[in-house]
C-alpha cells in the first residue's frame, strides 16, 4: 500500500465510523457495474493487496452471461486477475447509511493495466493526446426515463408515479419547471448524493416525454474522471429512483412513440499553456476546431457500435427526433451530430449528440478523442457546416442496424490505432455473441403477425 493509499483508507474509516461495508465497483464493457461487497475490516487489505475478479467480467454481455466468443470464459480457464483501488474514489453511499463504495482497476500479472478494461482504453487515448501536447476538458449529459417498477415481461414500462402527487404525467413538456416540481424530492436527493460523492451534477431539466429528464455534469479537465462521474451518477439515479419506488432506465428507446434518450458529450482541448485550442478570432472557432470535426466525421461510422451498442439503440434514430442520423456538423444547431454551441470565447467546444444513453461513457469519450486526434493529425477541412434542418441531408455511410455497426467496427481503420487491436477484437466478439443470443429469441409480435396468418 502506498502512503497516499494508506492515508486515504485510514482517513475515510476515521471520518465514517458508521460505515460497515463497501461495494467494490468494476465497470464492464457495457458500463454495467460488476462488483463485490466486503466488510469494513477488509478495506485496508484491498488497498494493500488488492482483490481478485475473473477476467470474464469483461466478457459478459448486458445480461451478465459470459460470451465464450471473447476467449475470457472456459477457453482461458476463467482466470482470476488482481484488481486495485482507483485513488480518490472511496466514497459514502448516501442511500445506504452504513455502506461505502470504491472503484477498482484490473491489472495483468506483469503489473500492466488489463487490456479489456474500457477505463484503461480511455487512459491510453488520453496519453496519446498528452504526448501531442493536448489535454481534453469533458462534460457528459445523460437523459433517462422514470418508470413504474411493476412491468409485465415483454411489455413496455408504464410511466412512474410522482412521489409528490402519486400520479403519472399525461404528457411531457420540455424545460417544464412543474415537471421538476412533481419529482422534486427525487431530484433533490440526487443532488445531495452527488455532492456527497464529489460528483459535479449541476443542472436538471425536464425532457420531451412524460417522466423523461436530463442531468448535466459540469466539465472537468480529466476525461477519465468525467466518465467516472457519469457511471457513478447513473448508479445514484437508479438507486435513488428505487428508494422512491420508481425505476430509472437509460435504455435508448423505451417507448416507440416517445423521444429516445441520448448521452451528449462536450469536449474542448487545452494546449500546454492552458489555452483552448478550439477558440478562434470569432464565433466560427479555430482551424484546429474544423480539423477535429473532420476527424470525428471520418471516424463516426466505425464508432457506431460504441455510440449505439445494443439492438434497441437503433430504434432511436428517426427523422426529426433530436437523435442525429448523419455525420453533419454545424453552429448552434441541435439537428446535427457535431454541434458547436453558441460561444466565441474560451468555452468554445464540440458537442457530440449522436450517442444513446445506453453507451459506455469510457468507450464513447475514447472514440471521440480518437477521432479528434486523428483529425488534428490529418489536418483536413470538413464540408461546410449545415444550416437549418440536418435531417434533410442523407448519409448512406452510417450503419443503420446493430449488425451493420458490428461489421463496420470490424473493418475500422482509425479506432484500432488508438484502442489497440486486442481490445477491438474483444469488443467485437462480445457484441457478436450478444447479437447471436438476442437474435435467437422469438419476440411477442412475431406470434401476433404470423401465427395464424401464414
For residue 451, the 8-state DSSP code is T
DSSP structure string for 187-233: HHHHHHHHHHTT--EEEEEE-SSTTEEEEEEPPBS-HHHHHHHHHHH
Which residues of the chain are in CATH 3.10.20.70 domains?
3-114
Asked if the model's pLDDT at residue 4 lies above 70, the reply is no
Distance CA 59, CA 76 (A): 11
Query: Which top CATH class is 3-114?
Result: alpha beta
| pLDDT at residue 6 greater than cutoff 80 | no
pLDDT at 178: 85
CA distance 446 to 426: 32
Separation of alpha carbons 20 and 54, rounded Å: 25
**In the structure grid, which three cell numbers stand for residue 145, read together?**
426515463
Q: What Å distances lie between residue 10 and 47, 67, 90, 91, 213, CA to CA?
A: 10, 39, 11, 13, 38
User: How many Cα atoms occupy the beta-carbon half-sphere of 238 within 13 Å?
Assistant: 11
In the CATH scheme, what architecture does the domain 125-445 have? 2-Layer Sandwich (3.30)
DSSP 306: H
Averaged pLDDT, 42-55 = 95
Q: What is the location of CATH 3.30.590.10 in the chain? A: 125-445
pLDDT digits (tens, 9 = 90+) for 399-431: 999 999 999 999 999 999 999 999 999 999 999
In this prediction, residue 361 has a pLDDT band, given cuts at 50, 70 and 90, of very high
396 pLDDT above the threshold of 70:
no
Query: Mean pLDDT throughout 29-42?
Result: 98
User: What is the DSSP code string of 56-113?
Assistant: GGGGB-TTS-B-GGGSSSGGGT--EEEEEEPTT--EE-TTSTTEEEEEEEEB-TTSSB
Q: How confident is the model at residue 5 (pLDDT cuts 50, 70, 90)?
A: confident
Model confidence band, residue 2 (pLDDT cutoffs 50, 70, 90):
low
Q: Residue 240 — very low, low, confident or very high, per pLDDT cuts 50/70/90?
A: very high
Asked whether the predicted pLDDT for residue 317 surpasses 80, the reply is yes
Amino acid at each position: 500500500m502506498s502512503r497516499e493509499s494508506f492515508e486515504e483508507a485510514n482517513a475515510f474509516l476515521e471520518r465514517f465510523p458508521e460505515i460497515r461495508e463497501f461495494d467494490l465497483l468494476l465497470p464492464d464493457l457495457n458500463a454495467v457495474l460488476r462488483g463485490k461487497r466486503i466488510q469494513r475490516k477488509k478495506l485496508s487489505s484491498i488497498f494493500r493487496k488488492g482483490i481478485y475478479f475473473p477476467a470474464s467480467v469483461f466478457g459478459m454481455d448486458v445480461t451478465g452471461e459470459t460470451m465464450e466468443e471473447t476467449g475470457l470464459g472456459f477457453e482461458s480457464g476463467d482466470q482470476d486477475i488482481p484488481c486495485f483501488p482507483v485513488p480518490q474514489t472511496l466514497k459514502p453511499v448516501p442511500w445506504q447509511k452504513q455502506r461505502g463504495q470504491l472503484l477498482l482497476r484490473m491489472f495483468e500479472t506483469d503489473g500492466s493495466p488489463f487490456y479489456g478494461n474500457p477505463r484503461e482504453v480511455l487512459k491510453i487515448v488520453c496519453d496519446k493526446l498528452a504526448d501531442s501536447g493536448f489535454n481534453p476538458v469533458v462534460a457528459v449529459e445523460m437523459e433517462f426515463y422514470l418508470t413504474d417498477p411493476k412491468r409485465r415481461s415483454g411489455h413496455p414500462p408504464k410511466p412512474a408515479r410522482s412521489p409528490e402527487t402519486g400520479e403519472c404525467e399525461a404528457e411531457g413538456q420540455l424545460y417544464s419547471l412543474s415537471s421538476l416540481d412533481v419529482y422534486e424530492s427525487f431530484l433533490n436527493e440526487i443532488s445531495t448524493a452527488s455532492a456527497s460523492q464529489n460528483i459535479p451534477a449541476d443542472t436538471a431539466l425536464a425532457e420531451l416525454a412524460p417522466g423523461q429528464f436530463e442531468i448535466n455534469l459540469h466539465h472537468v479537465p480529466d476525461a477519465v474522471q468525467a466518465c467516472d462521474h457519469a457511471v457513478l451518477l447513473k448508479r445514484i439515479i437508479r438507486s435513488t429512483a428505487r428508494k422512491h419506488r420508481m425505476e430509472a432506465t437509460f435504455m435508448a428507446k423505451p417507448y416507440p412513440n416517445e423521444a429516445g434518450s441520448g448521452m451528449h458529450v462536450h469536449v474542448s482541448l487545452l494546449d500546454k499553456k492552458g489555452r483552448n485550442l478550439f477558440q478562434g478570432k470569432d464565433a466560427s472557432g479555430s482551424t484546429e476546431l474544423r480539423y477535429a470535426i473532420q476527424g470525428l466525421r471520418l471516424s463516426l461510422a466505425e464508432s457506431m457500435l460504441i455510440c449505439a451498442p445494443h439492438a434497441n439503440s437503433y430504434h432511436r434514430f428517426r427523422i426529426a427526433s433530436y437523435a442525429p442520423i448523419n455525420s453533419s456538423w454545424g453552429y448552434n444547431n441541435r439537428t446535427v451530430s457535431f454541434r458547436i454551441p453558441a460561444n466565441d470565447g474560451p468555452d468554445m467546444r464540440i458537442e457530440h449528440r449522436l450517442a444513446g444513453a445506453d453507451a459506455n461513457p469510457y468507450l464513447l469519450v475514447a472514440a471521440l478523442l480518437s477521432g479528434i486526434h486523428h483529425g488534428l493529425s490529418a489536418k483536413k477541412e470538413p464540408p461546410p457546416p449545415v444550416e437549418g434542418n440536418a435531417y434533410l441531408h442523407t448519409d448512406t455511410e452510417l450503419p443503420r442496424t446493430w449488425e451493420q455497426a458490428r461489421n463496420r467496427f470490424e473493418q475500422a481503420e482509425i479506432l484500432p490505432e488508438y484502442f489497440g487491436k486486442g481490445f477491438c477484437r474483444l469488443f467485437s466478439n462480445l457484441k457478436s455473441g450478444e447479437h447471436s443470443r438476442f437474435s435467437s429469441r422469438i419476440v411477442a409480435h412475431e406470434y401476433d403477425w404470423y401465427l395464424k396468418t401464414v
